[in-house]
């Protein structure tokens, strides 16, 4: 009888393993939901759709919290592909490259080449939709044209995308109007990045070191990958020095703050000489990393309201220095 019970027990354990009821702990969550036949990355459109569907399937199997945890881990970025995710209220739950977005409404996120980017992505339905825009490629650390596939499931939004090279002739870019200094500043900087992609660093630095290319209060400053200035038309004595060593007029570590710029850019406010008025004024600078280099420009309080740029400022007009993606 003892041998018979032992046989039954062994058969029971075998049945559990065969049916998969006891999933090994070493098996990843994605292995449990990702189809074995995924499209290859050679077909980026099909791969993107399947990559997003795998995220939806993981949500179905493991729930929102586990799915968000999985995709917030940078280890789960595959080359240029990563998943970002929002809840039913459009608040970010996952974004491995921009954790500062977590908890924010995607509809408040402006684009780099046009304002209402988050609004466009949030328009995704259960049928899914494609959106094209300028965004940093984590594989190259450059701004490129991104094609994103976004789809809703249970009210949640799941999205990912792939990139295509970007390097337009700067002469073909349409400038924004200066009556919106936030958008104009972004566009002015993006145009400098386009020039870099089109002509290279040396020619771009020479262009922006020419005082003839200062546009009123706007000029572009550029540093190399080590934060050493290569372009600064109003203060060419800065060329070859470290941005991080620049002190604000109030003695603050201004250069250190500017050097914190990421591939999606950030705003900094400080007191600085206005080349148009010759006066020390409050400057609002937008700086962004591209290919390791830093590009920045800004506008002054005398030409704008007394408040820092907000998401609403960024989204107040669709016009920018870049043409709409197509």
Which domains are present in the chain?
Answer: 2-164 (3.30.450.20), 170-314 (3.30.450.20)
pTM of the model: 0.76
Q: What is the pLDDT of residue 244?
A: 97
User: Which parts of the chain register pLDDT below 50?
Assistant: 1-27, 303-326
Q: What is the pLDDT of residue 318?
A: 31
Q: What is the pLDDT of residue 33?
A: 55
Q: What is the pLDDT of residue 1?
A: 44
Beta-sheet strand order (sheet of 142-153): 92-94, 84-86, 156-164, 142-153, 129-137
DSSP 88-151: TTSBEEE-TT-GGGTTSBGGG---SSSS-HHHHHHT--TT-EEEEEEEEETTTTEEEEEEEEEE
Q: What is the pLDDT of residue 28?
A: 58
Residue 218's DSSP bridge partners are: 215
CA dist 32 and 22 (Å) reads 12
Q: What is the pLDDT of residue 324?
A: 33
Q: CB-based contacts of 262: which residues, under 8 Å, 6+ apart?
A: 98, 288, 289
Q: What is the pLDDT of residue 29?
A: 59
Among 230, 194, 237, 232, CA closest to 213: 232
From residue 243, how far is each of 43, 101, 191, 226, 293 by CA, in Å?
A: 42, 27, 21, 9, 12
């Amino acid at each position: 009888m003892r041998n018979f019970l032992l046989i039954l027990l062994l058969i029971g354990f075998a049945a559990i393993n065969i049916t998969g009821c006891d999933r090994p702990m070493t098996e990843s969550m994605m292995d449990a939901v990702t189809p074995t036949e995924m499209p290859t990355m050679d077909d980026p459109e099909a791969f993107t759709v399947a990559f997003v569907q795998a995220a939806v399937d993981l949500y179905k199997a493991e729930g929102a919290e586990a799915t968000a945890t999985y995709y917030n881990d940078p280890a789960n970025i595959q080359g240029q592909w990563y998943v970002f995710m929002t809840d039913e209220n459009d608040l970010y739950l996952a974004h491995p490259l921009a954790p500062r977005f977590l908890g924010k409404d995607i509809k408040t996120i402006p684009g780099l080449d046009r304002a209402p980017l988050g609004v466009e992505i949030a328009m995704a339905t259960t049928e899914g939709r494609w959106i094209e825009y300028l965004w940093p490629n984590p594989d190259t650390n450059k701004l490129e044209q991104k094609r994103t596939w976004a789809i809703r499931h249970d009210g949640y939004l799941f999205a990912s995308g792939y990139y295509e090279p970007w390097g337009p002739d700067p002469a073909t870019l349409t400038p924004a109007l200066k009556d919106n200094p936030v958008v104009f500043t972004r566009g002015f900087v993006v145009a400098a990045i386009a020039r870099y992609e089109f002509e290279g660093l040396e020619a771009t630095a020479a262009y922006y070191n020419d005082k003839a290319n200062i546009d009123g209060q706007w000029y572009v400053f550029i540093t190399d990958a080590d934060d050493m200035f290569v372009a600064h038309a109003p203060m060419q004595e800065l060329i070859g020095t470290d941005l991080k060593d620049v002190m604000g007029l109030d003695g603050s570590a201004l250069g250190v703050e500017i050097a914190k710029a990421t591939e999606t850019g950030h705003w900094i406010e400080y007191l600085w000489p206005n080349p148009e008025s010759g006066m020390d004024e409050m400057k609002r600078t937008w700086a962004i990393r591209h290919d390791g280099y830093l590009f920045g420009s800004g506008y002054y309080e005398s030409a704008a309201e007394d408040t820092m740029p907000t998401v609403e400022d960024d989204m107040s007009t669709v016009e920018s220095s870049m043409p709409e993606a197509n």
